[in-house]
């Protein structure tokens, strides 16, 4: 169609979809995976963290020898090919039916003696080639999703007897014959894992002096809290393969600091798992001799750092290397309690480098002192069988929320399309008008009306506005209550300066920059209060104010997102911007587009006079986007000057004029409310009608700033009421949300 430049029809679309469907269902090419996918999270088995989690990743490269059996075992894990599309689950030709799938004799493959004598690698290759699950020997699924794992009759472990071999891992280790490799996963605390590789050297006719002892970049340091003077001497491992920094829980206790509980996804060389940790802020590290300290932005705690004392370089280790004479290594009685990653570049920064000679070690002078890397001598860390113990680390920390979001975006790609949607031409023009006309006047933002055209000329519709005013007059004279409510509203608008009477010298305009807006009153269904709505859709000679205004992009946060964040933490607060639209002013060049007719003082016996709004009004299609732009601009203008948590709340926890936010504790809630009020006040916005499920938070607020339902209650005795929160029923006392 594209080549012939023909306009596609519905039948063309149907044929295209059918063709693509056949392509996707092709058993060979229909399931090509997206190589850009970097992480997979099994959502049903991973709980969301109870605190904000960290966002760091690190990879420490490790090289270890592996044997044929180890490779085969690894291939079982790595070569997981999705065969579910072209394999039908049935009892025919499986491991438990006759004849044998392998030798075609009258017995089940699961009992096949011929196959059981095969090398383990050949068994695995046969099962993989024929689409068998490695856990239950049934076709149609993969072992990672298998729910019917067999138990070995030889060792009682969770694998088929057919795949049993005598050196199956015992207690997490794989031990094979010479040349032997044993991999022992030793857990250090609950998170950082050390992979210990035991290497057995085969006997030779030559006499060896021993095994080379390799040292790591470990240096003695002082660690202290930023606001404290007490410091602790310990060893720090400068890990250039890690982008996260860790310390032991013991060091946290010695420094008398506390952190926030969080959960991180930790990956080792063998597997990954979520682990609980503390996130510390406000720590510093320095050398033993200097007075300068380097700030550590964030540190995660673990029970231990997987580095032994044998990895620490000592002064006596350098004696056989004359070119390292100027290197001075301090020695202290301490463990390695700190692992510094590349997120602290100042600690890694080389001030001086002594290069390696004759395959010897090299030394680097850092701000924390000298570090030495490489072989330093003969290792004594061998067992009675002559096996050398080698420690390798692979640390990976990831934010669980990010992994979940990434997985959900893969499952529901339409979500990412919505988030990355480009602005239309009209939206771009709207934002350009906002940015170019933005000013501050009398403590409020002033923004032009976003018209579609620069040169606008409107017909004079005063006659139509007069007819609507006379219709309103009839209703006012019939309903005294309606008249009183209407008059009170209009008098309040005029008293606050949101509208003004048009000066006599400006009454007559002939340049087309003039429009009269009819208005009417609407009662709130629940509150029974009146709101005067200006009818910007009212048309005259084929045009109206709203048809000439740009609506602008939707700058409102999603309702679901705001509600979910509202339920994230235990202490909840809710406030309201008073008259949000009326806080954004209109420049004098545009106010005559907002003229309306009214009787002075609400006295309908007098002649109609011309008034005009000076602020955003209810009924204009552009008002919501303009007001949202102004509140977000308030946060932008205070960036770097105000509390970041309050700024983020203004950006992400407002739904139109409602602020709904939850925090971990009451003191943080009290501070947050005060900071939000101060920031919003700089843009002319006043937050009021505050409520909370915490009595301490309510007590910290002036009575006049509280919501009507909690103004006059006894905070010590009375039960907290039920409120409305974003269209939901909020039981404040029991902190529950239900639909209305």
- The predicted pLDDT at position 26 comes to 54
| pLDDT beyond 50 at 309 | yes
- Alpha-carbon torsion (595, 598, 600, 601), positive or negative: negative
The C-alpha atoms of residue 361 and residue 317 are separated, in whole angstroms, by 10
Q: Which residue has the higher pLDDT, 614 or 325?
A: 614
Most confident range (mean pLDDT) of 212-226, 415-429, 569-583 is 569-583
| DSSP 8-state code for residue 107 | S
Are 283 and 224 in contact by the 8 Å Cβ rule? The answer is yes
Q: Where are the strands (E) in 394-549, listed by range?
A: 396-399, 439-441, 444-446, 499-501, 519-523, 530-534
Are 602 and 486 in contact by the 8 Å Cβ rule? The answer is yes
Q: Where are the strands (E) in 451-606, listed by range?
A: 499-501, 519-523, 530-534, 571-577, 595-598
| pLDDT beyond 70 at 318 | yes
| pLDDT beyond 60 at 395 | no
| pLDDT beyond 60 at 722 | yes
- The predicted pLDDT at position 212 comes to 54
- Alpha-carbon torsion (312, 315, 316, 322), positive or negative: positive
- The predicted pLDDT at position 270 comes to 61
Other Cβ atoms less than 10 A from the Cβ of 119: the count is 12
Strand-pair partners of 382: 388
- The predicted pLDDT at position 179 comes to 31
Calculate mean pLDDT across residues 539-565: 93
Q: Which residue has the higher pLDDT, 205 or 497?
A: 497
Binning the chain into helix, strand and coil, the percentages to the nearest 5 are 30, 25, 45
The C-alpha atoms of residue 620 and residue 614 are separated, in whole angstroms, by 13
* pTM, two decimal places: 0.48
Q: Which residues neighbour 561 within 8 Å (Cβ) at sequence distance 6 or greater?
A: 652
- The predicted pLDDT at position 409 comes to 65
- The predicted pLDDT at position 683 comes to 96
- The predicted pLDDT at position 412 comes to 57
The owner of tokens 């806080």 is 583
- The predicted pLDDT at position 72 comes to 39
Q: Which residues neighbour 298 within 8 Å (Cβ) at sequence distance 6 or greater?
A: 54, 245, 279, 280, 281
Angstrom CA distances, 288 to 232, 284, 291, 685, stand at 10, 13, 8, 52
Minimum mean pLDDT range among 367-381, 462-476, 561-575, 635-649: 367-381
pLDDT tens digit string along 615-627? Answer: 999 889 999 999 9
| pLDDT beyond 50 at 549 | yes
Q: How confident is the model at residue 128 (pLDDT cuts 50, 70, 90)?
A: confident
Are 284 and 339 in contact by the 8 Å Cβ rule? The answer is no
Q: How confident is the model at residue 156 (pLDDT cuts 50, 70, 90)?
A: confident
| pLDDT beyond 80 at 220 | yes
Q: What is the mean pLDDT of the chain?
A: 79
- The predicted pLDDT at position 679 comes to 96
Three-class SS state of 49: coil
- Work out the percent of the chain whose per-residue pLDDT is above 90: 45
The C-alpha atoms of residue 368 and residue 240 are separated, in whole angstroms, by 15
Calculate mean pLDDT across residues 403-423: 58
Are 728 and 738 in contact by the 8 Å Cβ rule? The answer is yes
| CATH number for region 211-400 | 2.40.70.10
Residue closest to 81 by CA, chosen among 43, 39, 15, 128: 128
- The predicted pLDDT at position 477 comes to 92
Q: Which two tokens mark 671?
A: 């501070």
- The predicted pLDDT at position 465 comes to 96
Calculate mean pLDDT across residues 292-303: 89
Residues in the chain: 740
- The predicted pLDDT at position 232 comes to 92
| pLDDT beyond 90 at 306 | no
Other Cβ atoms less than 10 A from the Cβ of 475: the count is 13
What DSSP assignment string belongs to 218-279? EEEEEEEETT---EEEEEEEE-TT-SS-EEEHHHHHHTT---EEEEEEEE-SS-EEEEEEEE
| pLDDT beyond 80 at 464 | yes
Q: Which residue has the higher pLDDT, 4 or 51?
A: 4
Calculate mean pLDDT across residues 409-430: 67
Minimum mean pLDDT range among 137-141, 517-521, 551-555, 568-572: 137-141
pLDDT tens digit string along 224-261? Answer: 998 887 889 999 999 887 878 999 999 999 998 888 88
Q: How confident is the model at residue 359 (pLDDT cuts 50, 70, 90)?
A: confident
pLDDT tens digit string along 63-93? Answer: 333 333 433 344 433 344 333 333 333 344 5
Domain boundaries, the chain: 74-163, 211-400, 421-740
| pLDDT beyond 80 at 4 | no
- The predicted pLDDT at position 269 comes to 64
| pLDDT beyond 90 at 693 | yes
Strand-pair partners of 336: 235
Classify residue 720 as exposed, middle or buried by CB count within 10 Å of its CB (0-12, 13-18, 19+).
Answer: buried
- The predicted pLDDT at position 196 comes to 38
Q: Which residue has the higher pLDDT, 110 or 419?
A: 110
């Amino acid at each position: 169609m594209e080549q012939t430049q023909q306009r596609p029809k519905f039948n063309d679309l149907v044929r295209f979809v059918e063709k693509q469907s056949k392509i996707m269902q092709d058993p060979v090419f229909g399931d090509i995976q997206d190589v850009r996918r970097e992480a997979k999270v099994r959502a049903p088995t991973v709980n969301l963290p109870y605190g904000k989690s960290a966002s760091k990743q690190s990879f420490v490269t490790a090289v270890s020898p592996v044997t044929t059996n180890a490779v085969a075992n690894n291939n079982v894990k790595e070569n997981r090919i999705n065969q579910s599309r072209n394999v039908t689950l049935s009892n025919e030709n499986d491991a438990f039916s006759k004849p044998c799938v392998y030798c075609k004799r009258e017995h089940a493959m699961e009992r096949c003696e011929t196959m059981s004598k095969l090398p383990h690698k050949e068994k695995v290759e046969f099962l993989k080639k024929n689409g068998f699950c490695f856990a239950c020997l049934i076709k149609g699924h993969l072992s990672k999703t298998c729910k019917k794992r067999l138990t070995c009759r030889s060792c009682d472990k969770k694998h088929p007897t057919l795949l049993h071999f005598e050196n199956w891992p015992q207690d997490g280790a794989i031990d094979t014959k010479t040349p032997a490799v044993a991999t022992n996963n030793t857990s250090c605390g609950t998170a950082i894992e050390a992979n210990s590789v035991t290497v057995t050297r085969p006997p030779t006719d030559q006499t060896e002096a021993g095994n080379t002892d390799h040292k790591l970049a470990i240096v003695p340091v002082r660690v202290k809290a930023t606001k404290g003077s007490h410091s602790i001497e310990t060893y720090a491992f400068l890990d250039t393969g890690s982008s996260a920094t860790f310390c032991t829980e013991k060091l946290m206790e010695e420094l008398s600091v506390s952190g926030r509980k969080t959960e991180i996804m930790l990956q080792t060389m063998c597997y990954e798992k979520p682990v609980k940790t503390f996130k510390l802020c406000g720590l510093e590290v320095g050398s033993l001799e200097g007075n300068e300290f380097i700030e550590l932005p964030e540190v995660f705690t673990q029970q231990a750092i997987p580095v032994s004392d044998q990895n620490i370089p000592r002064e006596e280790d350098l004696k056989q290397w004359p070119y390292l004479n100027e290197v001075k290594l301090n020695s202290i009685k301490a463990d390695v309690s700190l692992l510094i990653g590349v997120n602290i570049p100042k600690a890694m920064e080389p001030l001086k480098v002594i290069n390696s000679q004759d395959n010897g070690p090299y030394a680097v002078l850092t701000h924390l002192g000298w570090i030495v890397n490489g072989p330093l001598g003969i290792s004594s860390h061998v067992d009675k069988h002559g096996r050398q113990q080698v420690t390798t680390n692979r640390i990976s920390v990831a934010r669980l929320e990010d992994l979940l979001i990434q997985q959900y975006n893969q499952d529901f790609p339409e979500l990412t399309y919505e988030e990355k949607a480009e602005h239309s031409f009209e939206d771009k023009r709207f934002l350009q008008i906002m940015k170019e006309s933005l000013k501050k006047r009398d403590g409020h933002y002033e923004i032009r009306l976003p018209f579609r055209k620069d040169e606008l000329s409107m017909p004079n519709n005063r006659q139509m506005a007069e007819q609507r005013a006379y219709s309103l007059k009839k209703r006012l004279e019939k309903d005294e209550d309606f008249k009183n409510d209407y008059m009170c509203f209009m008098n309040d608008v005029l008293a606050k300066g949101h509208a003004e009477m048009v000066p006599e010298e400006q009454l007559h305009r002939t340049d087309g920059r003039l429009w009269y807006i009819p208005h009417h009153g609407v009662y709130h269904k629940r509150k029974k209060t009146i709101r005067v709505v200006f009818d910007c859709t009212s048309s005259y000679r084929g045009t109206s104010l709203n048809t000439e205004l740009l609506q602008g992009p939707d700058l409102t946060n999603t309702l679901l997102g705001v509600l979910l964040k509202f339920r994230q933490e235990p202490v909840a607060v809710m406030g309201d911007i008073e008259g949000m639209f009326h806080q954004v002013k209109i420049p004098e060049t545009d106010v005559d587009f907002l003229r309306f007719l009214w009787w002075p003082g609400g006295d309908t016996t007098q002649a109609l006079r011309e008034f005009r709004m000076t602020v955003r009004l209810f009924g204009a299609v552009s008002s919501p986007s303009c007001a949202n732009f102004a509140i977000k601009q308030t946060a932008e203008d205070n960036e770097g000057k105000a509390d970041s948590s309050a700024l983020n709340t203004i950006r992400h926890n407002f739904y139109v004029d409602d602020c709904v936010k939850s925090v971990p504790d009451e003191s943080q809630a009290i501070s947050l409310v005060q900071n939000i009020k101060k920031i919003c006040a700089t843009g002319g916005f006043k937050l009021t009608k505050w409520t909370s499920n915490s009595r301490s938070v309510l007590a910290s607020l002036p009575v006049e700033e509280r919501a009507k339902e909690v103004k006059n209650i006894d905070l010590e005795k009375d039960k907290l009421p039920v409120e409305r929160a974003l269209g939901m029923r909020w039981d404040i006392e029991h902190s529950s949300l239900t639909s209305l």
